[in-house]
Amino acid sequence: MTQVHDDVREWIADDPDAETAAGLTSLLERAQSGDESADAELADRFSGLLEFGTAGLRGALGGGPNRMNRVVVLRAAAGLTAYLQESQGRPDVTVVIGFDARHNSDVFARDTAAVVVAAGGRALVLSHPLPTPLLAFAIRHLGADAAVMVTASHNPPQDNGYKVYLGDGSQIVPPADAEIAAAIDRFPRAADVAQADDGWETVDDSIIDDYLASVTSVVEAGGPRDLRIVHTALHGVGSATMIDALHRAGFTDVQPVAEQAEPDPEFPTVSFPNPEEPGAIDLALAQARKVGADIVIANDPDADRCAVAIEDAGTWRMLRGDEVGALLGHHLVQRGVAEGSVFANSIVSSRLLGAIARAAGIAHEETLTGFKWISRVPGLRYGYEEALGYCVDPAGVRDKDGISAGLLIAELAADLKATGRSIPDVLAELARTHGAHLTDSFSVRVDDLSIIGRIMQRLRDNPPENVAGQSVSRREDLAEGSDALPPTEGLRYYLADDTRIIVRPSGTEPKLKIYLEAIGDDAAETAQRLAAVRAEMEGLTTA
């Protein structure tokens, strides 16, 4: 471990953050005294550089190159600024910077601004913690060359991240990610990165009004607004913006979950601040039952995702992301879609939106997972992915936006209530028209990322011939790419009954994700087939 210990000493000497330097010093002292757990922790922290990819940076906070800290952020900011200056052919690039309320988000935002200004650029920093969609709106609204959002979205409290948008308002895709990573490599130490003491600008809070004016335009004026809404921000930064948007749109009966309304980087009432996780919206559901709500709207901590819960046959339940995706697409079709518009969803999302689009004569496309791909579909009018991400207003925000999606689902619910109908009625109608499209997913969470690679290789070496009594009629290695899709790590299978299975590593968390969809005329029978496929796939993907 001598080399690792030497690397730790060099890092400590370069670290401008007294807290992370002290943490590393303590670990080093423990390791040198024979503490094997401290040695293992140092080995992990110095196992490589936190990789800059199409999701930017995301990882646990702490000292070392494989963690989120000021050294990593300073180098990332320097590399991004150099990339922008070289690609734009001028030094005076403009970067707008936003941040959430996680630990050190404001520090990382300030460091980024200091680096941009020192390099000759212009840095525009949002005034306080605000949702990611507002930052995604601001990049185009302010005419910036790029934007940085310091957030780890729905990751655990110990994480933070660094999301990058380019001037078209979309998240980065290849080859920009590799080119930025190469530029970062030119700054091996924080000491090599120049920082200004001042000179960045604080964006006036009128940007919030501009965003809200844009986002509230997704709902039609004069429609029904009799709807009791319970909202939770899950201790994130979305509460004030979401509630203000609902009020401006005419939805005045909005009741926040008080215990989760204020930003708190510790996320004290949830074990995992992701509305998809079991228990995350239990407080909201309890409040909905208590106050007789019509609907629950939940945002993840940076408010780019939107979850919806409804009362269905006397029981409150959270809608699956694919159900919300179909409902929003159907609602837009009912309102009218301009000629030449395109609907899109990721390959792991349900095929129901495609069926809705085809029936309405609307073009439809499938993309790789992530809004960095969905947002780039030419002519996009609406796009979604099953992980609670919806882009209902690409002209305003070219990314998923949990605020505008929340407004649109509220409009749908209020319209239905005014006519004596409900969201379950629409879901049943869609199933009768297009077939029951039932989806499910599960994850294999790991501590050692190499396990994911071994599972994927095992499936490639010994692909299943049958799953749950159905033969595999088609298998695709998504890593090979196709005319329709760029290469991505993943496997896709179709069974003889048209059940679809996709296995892919998560792009933001240490887990393998398995997505399932079965289609049939009879919902109960289709659900049985789906359950059988899940049971078998759980066995095939065990670590």
- Tell me which residues are annotated as active site: 153
CA angle 374, 166, 404 (to 5 degrees): 50
The pair of three-digit structure tokens given for residue 116, joined into one six-digit string: 């941009």
DSSP 209-273: HHHHHHHGGGSPTT------EEEE-TTSS-HHHHHHHHHHTT---EEE-HHHHS--TT-TT-SS-
The pair of three-digit structure tokens given for residue 161, joined into one six-digit string: 């991240």
Gap between the Cα atoms of 193 and 75, Å rounded: 7
Q: Find tokens 């790991």 and name the residue.
A: 446
Q: 103: exposed, middle or buried (C-beta count within 10 Å: 0-12, 13-18, 19+)?
A: middle
Is there a cis peptide before residue 265, judged by omega within 30 degrees of 0?
no
Q: 480: exposed, middle or buried (C-beta count within 10 Å: 0-12, 13-18, 19+)?
A: exposed
Gap between the Cα atoms of 420 and 422, Å rounded: 7
Is 110:161 a contact under the CB 8 Å cutoff?
Answer: no
The pair of three-digit structure tokens given for residue 372, joined into one six-digit string: 């960095």
The pair of three-digit structure tokens given for residue 59, joined into one six-digit string: 């990882």
Please give the C-alpha separations between residue 422 and each of 310, 392, 409, 426, in angstroms, as whole numbers: 9, 21, 12, 7
- In sequence order, the 6+-apart residues with CB closer than 8 A to the CB of 409 are 295, 297, 306, 308, 324, 327, 328
Beta strands in 52-142 (DSSP E): 57-60, 94-99, 122-125
Is 416:422 a contact under the CB 8 Å cutoff?
Answer: yes
- In sequence order, the 6+-apart residues with CB closer than 8 A to the CB of 257 are 230, 231, 232, 233, 283, 284, 287
- The distance of Cα 506 from the centroid of its chain, to the nearest Å, equals 11
